[in-house]
Structure 1
Amino acid sequence: MTNQKSYSGSCFCGAVQFTVTGEPAGMGYCHCESCRHWSASPVNAFTLWKPEQVQVQQGADNIGTFNKTPNSYRKWCQQCGGHIFTEHPGMGLIDVFAAVIPDFPYQAGVHVHYQEHRLAIKDGVTKLKDVPAEMGGSGEEMNE
């Protein structure tokens, strides 16, 4: 039996409902061109979870998938078009968009792909040129 905290989330219309359990592997903001286009915003708030920590409770048959590259399988609700999460098979993680888990205590730990930013954010959080070295990036920090 586990006493890890769970948080509920859903798509825009509520047809797809899910829970995340425990602590995410990481949280932050992504500034890459791909995330900006997918989210139609200048920055995307992410939470990264192991697949076993993400459970679709309702509406799995409503989930659509699109992958521009084999690195990211983007998921959305086919009823409302609301974006839900992105599976990253190479990392073994699922990015559940922070905005769709309303009660989760989101706290960014890093900005990734900051070299591509369109919106400068001066929040004192580490800004990486690309991604951490342990994830195949340079790990190079940038100024705010």
Structure 2
Amino acid sequence: MMASSTYRGQCFCGAVKFEVTGAPKEMGYCHCESCRSWSASPLNGFTLWDTKDIAITGGEDQVGEYRKTENSHRRFCRNCGGHLMTYHPEMGLIDVFSAMLPELVFKPELHVHYGEKVLSVLDELPKFADLPAELGGSGVQLTE
């Protein structure tokens, strides 16, 4: 586990600033259609944090939220549209895209929703069809 630190991030225009404190609960790659569409990428690097470890430090009035489903409350800057974080209420965690925390050393530990992948990633990390059981998924792992 990483040492406790504070990492700062901001939206694309800088109107909204936030910080996370401590260490992420998990880091990895998500391959689900929603994350791919939201991030405009074939996969999304995620970092999961306890909700108590995240604070908006500037521009809170500029934070918007979009809910395609009740599982993911995606937060963004109303000024520039830049992504901020995604609250997952069923897990009690907030996902901050790894790219939003430039000082955090991103060390992915798994792939989630690999059953929906559009890009194969040949690495040694576990690949889950959906989510690990401890995060509410089936726990089924896939092979390449």
Considering only aligned residues, what root-mean-square deviation do their CA atoms show, in Å? 1.1
Once the 2 structures are TM-superposed, how far is the Cα of residue 40 of structure 1 from its aligned partner?
1.1
Gaps of 5+ in 1: none
Letter in 1 for 2:105: P
Say whether residues 1:113 and 2:103 are aligned partners. no
What SS is found at the alignment partner of 2:105?
A: coil
Match of 1:5 in 2: 5
Distance of 2:62 and 2:73 partners within structure 1? 15
Letter in 1 for 2:110: V
Match of 2:47 in 1: 47
Distance of 2:128 and 2:135 partners within structure 1? 12
| CA deviation string 1:37-96 (max 9, x = no partner) | 111111011100011100111011111100011111000111111111000111100001
Distance of 1:90 and 1:15 partners within structure 2? 29
Match of 1:63 in 2: 63
Distance of 1:7 and 1:134 partners within structure 2? 26
TM-score, normalised on structure 1?
0.95
Aligned-pair identity in percent equals 53
Match of 2:126 in 1: 126
Once the 2 structures are TM-superposed, how far is the Cα of residue 123 of structure 1 from its aligned partner?
2.0
Match of 1:100 in 2: 100
* Structure 1 residue runs of 4 or more that deviate by more than 2 Å after TM superposition: none
Structure 1, 130-139 or 47-56: larger mean CA deviation: 130-139
Distance of 1:66 and 1:116 partners within structure 2? 22
In the alignment, is the contact (CA less than 8 A) between 2:91 and 2:136 conserved in 1? no
TM-score, normalised on structure 2?
0.95
